Structures are given as structure tokens and as C-alpha cells.
Amino acid sequence: MNDVILSRIAEALTWTGRYVERADATGRILDAYLHRLLEDPWRDEDAACRSLYAILGVDAGDQPVDMQQVLDQLAFDARSTGSIEGALGAARLNARSAREAVSSEMWECLNSTWHALAGQRRASLRTGPYAYLELVRRRAALFFGLADSTMSRDDSWRFVVLGRSLERVDMTVRLLSVRVLDAAHAPDWPTLLSASGADEAYARVYGGFGDSPKVAEFLLLDRDFPRSALHALTTAEECLAALGRPRQDPARRPIGALRTHLEYLDSRSLEGGLPVLLRDLQGACMASAEAVAEKFFPYQGPVEWAQEGARR
């Protein structure tokens, strides 16, 4: 197997991990916002929808926005990899191109999920989108569970986990950035916890679901919660080290520097420096992703699954 084929497989595996994680995170965010709107019918739907768009980097425009429009764009749009359906479709194409590297069970999970989405999308018109979003969350968890249980801990597995980890940091930073930097459309702390899948884990650590800035501390600095920035950065750095990248490598250095910074950060100084820290985290992940692509994905020919919207 020549280097071009190997680089294409590595790219496909990395983006498979990223796209499945993106679909999962987007599904959690949409579900959290939908439940908040149901629980509080007086909540401003337009403001909530604009907050969702801000998290995912979508221009909301000047016209009023409702939740059905958001779902059509962020859940059901198969043409955009910024939506759930588009991300899962791209993950499926990537996995198909790397069939010799992923297990049959992982491929079957993605393939069956993709084919089940259309039926769930139609059902959502009658019963709401909750079953659709639940399917996405459960299948994403199943996919990564199958990756952990059916793949050897070789470079193929590391590229999947690296992609998932980089996307996870990006989504956590996006959530916190809207809360910190965009007061006009900011979600409350409980919504942010729920959107991160962290509400129960947070309650076990802090003893409640209080509206507290400690949410930011938990999502950034907790060493044990797998969706925290520190945990995801640590996992990404471990993958890069196992892939043979030294500490000063352009792919590993920005990740390692931010991981070390978070590791020893005094939580009392977190709130005041949060905007700068979030920008640094997003910049480090972008720099690392670009360096990984330059090192491992040198193939520049036409690749069907490499089509990406604004976020890739």
C-alpha cells in the first residue's frame, strides 16, 4: 500500500471521527434548546434560534427565525456538513473510502444510521424531532464504542480518536464563546450544560444544577469528564505522540501548550481571562488540524469525500 493511499485513509479516518462527533454535538445542542423552549413557553424563540446559529457559525440574517427553520438548516440539510444529516453523510462517505481500516460493525453502524435518517425526518413532521435527535446521539455513541471495542490500537484508531478530540474541543469552545462573548443571545448555564451532555456529571461534582460560572470551569478544566477541553486536548496529544510527532512538531506543539496551560491554570483567574482563553483554544485546534493535514494528508488530487462547507 503506497503512501498516497495511506494518506487518503488517514484523512478519511480523521474526518470520520470529526463528522460523527459534530453530528452528535449538534444533536445535543438542538435537543437542549428544544427542551428549554418547551419548558418555558415565554422564552423568545427568535433569540434562542439566533443563539443556536451563533454557536454553529451560521449567519441568522435580519428576518425573524423559528425553530423549524433552524432544524431544516442544522439537522436536515444533507448538502451541508454543518448539519447533522450532512455530517453523517460525509462520515459515511469517508468510512466507505477507508473500509479496510474500519471494522465491519463500525461501517454497518454508520450505513444503517444514514438510511434510518429519512424515515425519522419524515416522522418528525408529525411527532417532533426528538426521536431523530435521540437516534443520532445513540448511534454516535455506538459508533465510537465500536471503534474502541473492535479496532486495534494502531494508527487507524488514533486518527479516528484524534478527529473526534479536535472536533470536541471546537464544539465546547463554541458553546462557551456564545455564553461569554454574545450576551444578546447567550444560553443560560443549565442549557449550556445540557447541550454539552454534562448536566449529570456536573451535578455529581458540584452537587446541583445551579446557574453558575463554575460550568465554564467544569467544561474546560475537569480532568475526568470526556467532553471537557482539558480531557480532549490530552487525548489528542496522546494520539499525536503515538503517531510519532515530537513535542515541537507543529501539529503537537499548540495542543500540548494549551493542554499544559489548562492543567496548571488557577480556576480563580478563569472568569476574567475566559474570552482570550477561548480564542486561544480555537486557534490551537485550527493550527494543529492544519499541521496534521500538511504532514499526513499530502495527497492533493480530487477526493469525493473532501467536499466541505464553511467549517472545513
* CA separation for the pair 25, 28 (Å, rounded): 5
- Under DSSP, the state recorded for 154 is S
What are the start-end ranges of the H helices in 243-273?
253-263
Residue predicted with more confidence, 191 or 101: 101
Position 311 confidence tier, pLDDT thresholds 50, 70, 90: low
Q: For helices 155-181 and 130-150, what crossing angle results, to 10°?
A: 140
Q: Which residues contact 164 (CB under 8 A, 6 or more apart)?
A: 17, 18, 20, 21, 144
**Nearest alpha-carbon partner for 219 in 174, 158, 160, 273:** 174
Segment 109-120 shows an average pLDDT of 96
pLDDT tens figures, 121-147: 999 988 889 999 999 999 999 999 999
Confidence (pLDDT) at 253: 96
* CA separation for the pair 214, 301 (Å, rounded): 47
Q: Which residues contact 166 (CB under 8 A, 6 or more apart)?
A: 18, 232, 236, 285, 288, 289
Give the three cell numbers for residue 154: 494502531
- Phi-psi category of residue 225: left, alpha or beta, with phi > 0 → left and psi -120 to 50 → alpha: beta
**Nearest alpha-carbon partner for 19 in 119, 172, 143:** 143
Percent of the chain with pLDDT over 70: 91
pLDDT tens figures, 205-253: 988 766 677 899 999 999 999 999 999 999 999 999 999 989 999 999 9
Q: State the pTM of this model.
A: 0.91
